[in-house]
Amino acid sequence: MGLRPNLLTRRAAGVASTTLALLLSTAAVGVVPAASAFSAAPGGACVEPTDSHTNARVKPGAAAKHEPNELTAKQVRERDADLAAALRERATFRTGAGATALATVTIPVVVHVIQRDSTRAGGNIPDSLITAQINVLNQAYAGATGGAATAFDFRLDKINRVTNPSWYPIVDGSSAERSMKSSLRVGGKNTLNIYLGELSDDLLGWATFPQRKLNSMDGVVVLSESLPGGTATNYNQGDTGTHEVGHWLNLYHTFQGGCSGSGDSVSDTPAEASPAYECPTGRNTCSTAGLDPITNFMDYSYDSCMYQFTPGQASRMLTAWNAYRAA
């Protein structure tokens, strides 16, 4: 396993729970707002960027319809401005500005298995792969694989199997994808809807970022054979799911913005010029401090290479949860 020693043992060992305290403000550790964030949102108003699935995870050489590598600088400014505005909005409903939010968050999960037919080749994966995926999420977000512990754990509430050839494969950005999600999505902003199936353009998965108003497109799409025990070579330990849920909780790619600017808006992930593929140990693409974070769940490395979130990422996710998804 190289950079991921004893990973399978750690994943089988169970999940630790954690309680984090976080000030409900934009001064939280690990959150680095874009320089023009507040000026981009006069009076706290901000137009949320359209969902173009620029947060997709791809295999090397995949030909996605949308550029998958990063958001535009304008999109980052809009998103960070909206996060600041949402936090201010939330603060008005609490006792005193900047109230402390204590969080151990259990996220209900509904999994939609999209099938062409009843065969494994047609998308009919066994329940065991899905339960293994939930276990991987719990261990990754608890820090059990070697990274920082976050506030989140995941509870599988339902597996919904749908045979519909018109939704298979799931095509990124299509009217069929919108129809599928509009028909199937359940729960509030705090409910994680995961859609599994064969995907278009050799993509591994994509996700929506959190928004103040619930959108029927909200959720995560994952290649079914990338689940633990699936057939997607080098991408079948469940970390596409881990990666995409990170986006759903408001994390950017580690290579967002390249070597300049605010990068991924997290202070403790070293800058990275471009996605890391495979497992390029010692890679260093920026002159700033630190090697490229190729072991971070928000890069593009092989599943066997990635094993961690940073404390700053854990803080950013909790801040976004309090702003957007908390009841």
pLDDT digits (tens, 9 = 90+) for 106-118: 999 999 999 999 9
Judge whether 142 and 59 are in contact, CB under 8 Å: no
Q: Is the pLDDT score of 65 beyond 80?
A: no
Band of residue 89 on the pLDDT scale cut at 50, 70, 90: confident
Residue 278 appears among annotated catalytic residues: no
Instruction: Find the range with the poorest average confidence among 68-72, 172-176, 274-278.
Output: 68-72
- Alpha-carbon distance of 262 to 74, in angstroms, equals 12
pLDDT of residue 26: 33
Instruction: Find, among 138, 128, 103, the residue nearest to 230 by Cα.
Output: 128
Check: CB of residue 240 under 8 Å from CB of residue 230: no
Tell which phi-psi region holds residue 298, choosing left (phi > 0), alpha (psi between -120 and 50) or beta.
Answer: alpha
Q: How far apart are alpha carbons 157 and 105 in whole angstroms? A: 15
Locus of tokens 């959150």: 31
In the sheet with 203-207, reading across from the earlier edge strand, the strands are 57-58, 203-207, 220-223, 192-197, 105-115, 152-163
pLDDT higher than 90, residue 245: yes
- With a cut of 80, say whether residue 310 has pLDDT above it: yes
Q: Strands 105-115, 192-197: parallel, antiparallel or unpaired by DSSP?
A: parallel
Residue 51 has pLDDT above 50, yes or no: no
80 vs 148, higher pLDDT: 148
Look at residue 312 and tell me whether its pLDDT is greater than 70: yes
Exposure on the CB side of residue 228, measured as CA atoms within 13 A: 20
Band (pLDDT 50/70/90 cuts) for residue 14 is very low
DSSP class of residue 323? I
pTM above 0.85, yes or no: no
Q: What is the pLDDT of residue 101?
A: 56
Catalytic residue among 225, 244, 272, 278: 244
Choice between 25 and 169, residue whose per-residue pLDDT is larger: 169
Q: Name which residue leads in pLDDT, 267 or 35.
A: 267
Residue 74's SS3 state is helix
Q: Is the pLDDT of residue 80 over 50?
A: yes
The neighbouring-strand residues paired with 220 are: 194, 207
For residue 148, pLDDT beyond 80 = yes
Residue 140 vs residue 3, higher pLDDT:
140
pLDDT-based confidence at residue 63 (cuts at 50, 70, 90): low
* pLDDT reading at 4 higher than 50: no
Neighbour-count burial of 257, counting CB atoms closer than 10 A to its CB (0-12 exposed, 13-18 middle, 19+ buried): buried
Cβ(257)–Cβ(70) under 8 Å? yes
Residue 62: pLDDT over 80: no
Domains in the chain, CATH or no CATH each: 103-251 (3.40.390.10), 254-308 (no CATH)
- What are the structure tokens assigned to 269, written together? 């992930």
Residue 260 exposed, middle or buried by CB count within 10 Å (0-12, 13-18, 19+): exposed
Average of pLDDT values for 202-217? 95
Average pLDDT for 172-190: 97
Written as six digits, the tokens of 107 are 């996220």
Mean pLDDT of 233-250: 98
Say which amino acid occupies 228.
P
Alpha carbon distances (Å) from 108 to 52, 180, 193: 25, 20, 9
Kindly tell me if the per-residue pLDDT of 47 is higher than 90. no
> What is the mean pLDDT of the segment spanning 109-132?
98
Average pLDDT over residues 37-55: 33
Distance CA 12, CA 38 (A): 45
Query: 195 φ, ψ to 5°?
Result: -110, 120
